[in-house]
A and B are shown apart, each in its own frame.
Chain A
Amino acid sequence: MEYDVTIGLEVHCELKSTSKVFSPSPNAYSEKSNTNISVIDLGFPGILPVVNKGVIKKALTVATALNCETPEYMIFDRKNYYYPDLPKGYQITQMHYPVGTNGYLDIYVEDQVKRIYIHDTHLEEDTASLDHYDGYSLIDYNRCGVPLLETVTEPCMHSIDEALSFLESLKRLFLYTDVSDAKTELGQIRCDVNVSLAPKGSKELGVKVEMKNINSFYNVKMALESEIKRQTELLNKGMKIEMETRRYDESTMETYRMRSKVEAVDYKYFIEPNIPPIKLTNELKSEVKESLPELAFSKITRYINEYGLSLVDAKTIAKDKELATYYENIINKGKDPKMVSNWVTTRVLGCLSKDEITISEFNFTEEKMVELLEYIESGKISTKQAKDVFYKCIEENKTPKKVIKESGMEQITDEEEIRKIVLEVLEENSEVAKDYNPEKGRMLDFFIGQTMKKSRGKANPEVATKVLKEELLK
């Protein structure tokens, strides 16, 4: 039997900042355990949270980028539960008044535009990390109080593709807005995934199963595949899906039950009394709005519509904010978007991946690219030559001008200069020239050959031919 899959995502993203969200200890990764800590992170009796202004601004930035409604005041709640990675015994989060609600993010799934609806995005604190050993665990409080932004989508995605495209787009949004390094391999992005199956075309959703704390997009894919398979099989056997929370195990690539809905914890949320409401002024809100960069989706769309790029090329360029800037700066110098896109998506990216560097570390700067393209446009070098120049420039870290000069590639296009050479050639071959007959094309070729030879191949063939014809007919 066929089923409609419905997927919702909760994405936790560690924001970057100098100090933590509620304490002055450094928000930085450290090899040494329990070095980036304050009394607040350890939850000693008598400590009080003090909210980090910079972090509020970053959270507001994401909320704005996700087209969310933002509240008048920043207000926090306590989520109460006992776990050894939670020293205070409660997590400060936002339940009643998230920094962003009812938003959306437009993304490309394949070549389709899809709008993903955002239920809310809220600011909270990360927990300690537990290292497990044989028979015991060790607690490192360094991660306590690292700012986390949790973005919750509506259950509005209907394929693994959609889910992954959204995750990629969201990650890109974090990078474009510069609120996070968004490195999944460092656990800076973690996902809870919930999925339900319903008979094809049925109006209401099936029973929701949640999978907690998945640490990479790849694992999201695998978890979804295995969970959808599991549920499909159950349903096909006519069995019921139980509302529950499951854990995805990388090693077996399967999901395992953690707890069922009936065992669900009552977090006894209530407003954090130690943090008075912080006004989000209209000044701040508009400041954030104005400083928002153009995001990937609108770049891709613009590249396609204005520059006539293919979706693939547009996506490739917009994937990396710096690369897109590189590209656009060259376009803004009046260069042909398609031609530039070809250079960027093929050769430039080729070099970057070969040398495993970013565009900012790339020595063939925008200026050099513009210079090179101008040589091609003016016909001073051929496209074929340009490629060699490009690589030589990178190799020797020189400008195209220098490389072209040194290798003497530059063509002679000046008519008079070429005429001198042509006259010399005719002089030397006056006998042959005498019985020149325009009907016999081969003879012209002979002179052209001679002329090219004399100019050591630098004479522009078109010009040479034109001059020869003139002179021979005299």
Chain B
Amino acid sequence: MITKDKLKEYAEKLMFRLEEEQYDTLLREFDVILEQMKLIEDIKEIDGIEPMTFPFELDNVRPREDEKIETIDTEMALSNAKEKIGTEVKVPKVVE
């Protein structure tokens, strides 16, 4: 059974918060969604079927030869970072 607290926990793990009333909406939405999920569970024949990840099997998938190298300009690469020191991205002290 899904509770508001569980939903908060999920959101926290995804690194964001919702407003209190938004959690209520989400809770209601989950009722509908879990109803719809039942439509999946109703189909018993699925046992033994390999879950599908790729739309179809691709013939001759070609990994890259380990030959040429390519880089991008450091400045360009970091041009979108808001805080920098020298050629590195600055963040608050990270404690392991």
Task: Please give the residue numbers on chain A whose beta carbons come within 8 Å of chain B beta carbons, in ascending order.
Answer: 17-19, 24-26, 32-39, 42, 50-56, 82, 84, 130-141, 247, 258, 266, 271, 273, 276-279
Which B residues lie within 8 Å of A37 (CB)? 71-72, 74, 77
Whether A277 lies near B61 (C-beta < 8 A) is yes
Which B residues lie within 8 Å of A247 (CB)? 96
Whether A38 lies near B70 (C-beta < 8 A) is yes
Which B residues lie within 8 Å of A277 (CB)? 54, 61
Contacts between the two chains (Cβ within 8 Å), count: 107
Q: Shortest CB–CB separation between residue A473 and chain B, in angstroms?
A: 81
Whether B74 lies near A34 (C-beta < 8 A) is yes
Whether A25 lies near B61 (C-beta < 8 A) is no
Asked whether B28 is an interface residue with its Cβ less than 8 Å from the other chain, the reply is no
Which B residues lie within 8 Å of A138 (CB)? 85-86, 88-91
Asked whether B2 is an interface residue with its Cβ less than 8 Å from the other chain, the reply is no
Asked whether B67 is an interface residue with its Cβ less than 8 Å from the other chain, the reply is yes
Whether B72 lies near A131 (C-beta < 8 A) is no
The 8 Å CB contact of B69, one of A18, A32, A141, A276, is A18
Asked whether B46 is an interface residue with its Cβ less than 8 Å from the other chain, the reply is no
Known: A51-B64, A56-B63, A137-B92. A33 touches B69 (CB 8 A): no
Q: Shortest CB–CB separation between residue A258 and chain B, in angstroms?
A: 7
Known: A24-B69, A35-B74. A51 touches B96 (CB 8 A): no
Q: Shortest CB–CB separation between residue B32 and chain A, in angstroms?
A: 23
The 8 Å CB contact of A271, one of B15, B53, B64, B65, is B53
Q: State A186–B87 Cα separation when bound (angstroms).
A: 21
Q: Shortest CB–CB separation between residue B14 and chain A, in angstroms?
A: 8
Asked whether B58 is an interface residue with its Cβ less than 8 Å from the other chain, the reply is yes
Q: State A36–B94 Cα separation when bound (angstroms).
A: 23
Known: A18-B69, A19-B69, A39-B72. A136 touches B90 (CB 8 A): yes
Which 3 A-B residue pairings sit nearest by Cβ, starting from the closest? A54-B66, A138-B88, A53-B63
Asked whether B93 is an interface residue with its Cβ less than 8 Å from the other chain, the reply is yes
List, sorted by A's number, 26 A–B pairs whose CB atoms are closer than 8 Å.
A26-B71, A34-B88, A37-B72, A37-B74, A37-B77, A50-B63, A51-B64, A52-B64, A53-B63, A53-B64, A53-B65, A53-B66, A54-B65, A84-B91, A84-B94, A132-B94, A136-B90, A136-B91, A138-B86, A138-B88, A138-B89, A139-B89, A266-B13, A276-B54, A276-B61, A278-B61
Known: A82-B15, A136-B91, A139-B91. A278 touches B63 (CB 8 A): yes
Give residues of chain B (43-92) contacting chain A, Cβ–Cβ below 8 Å. Answer: 53-54, 58, 61, 63-72, 74, 77-78, 85-92
Whether A24 lies near B68 (C-beta < 8 A) is yes
The 8 Å CB contact of B66, one of A18, A36, A278, is A18
Q: State A139–B90 Cα separation when bound (angstroms).
A: 7
Task: Please give the residue numbers on chain B whose beta carbons come within 8 Å of chain A beta carbons, in ascending order.
Answer: 13, 15, 53-54, 58, 61, 63-72, 74, 77-78, 85-94, 96
Q: Which residue of B lies closest to A23 (CB)?
A: B70
Whether A24 lies near B70 (C-beta < 8 A) is yes
Q: State A84–B72 Cα separation when bound (angstroms).
A: 21
Q: Shortest CB–CB separation between residue B7 and chain A, in angstroms?
A: 15
Whether A130 lies near B61 (C-beta < 8 A) is no
Known: A25-B69, A34-B88, A131-B88. A42 touches B93 (CB 8 A): no
Which A residues lie within 8 Å of B72 (CB)? 37-39
Whether B68 lies near A136 (C-beta < 8 A) is no
Known: A32-B87, A138-B89, A276-B54. A38 touches B71 (CB 8 A): yes
The 8 Å CB contact of A137, one of B54, B74, B78, B93, is B93
Whether B86 lies near A33 (C-beta < 8 A) is yes
Which A residues lie within 8 Å of B15 (CB)? 82
Q: Shortest CB–CB separation between residue A11 and chain B, in angstroms?
A: 20
Q: State A26–B68 Cα separation when bound (angstroms).
A: 9
Which A residues lie within 8 Å of B67 (CB)? 18-19
Which A residues lie within 8 Å of B68 (CB)? 18-19, 24
Which B residues lie within 8 Å of A54 (CB)? 65-66
Which A residues lie within 8 Å of B65 (CB)? 53-54
Q: Which residue of B lies closest to A265 (CB)?
A: B13
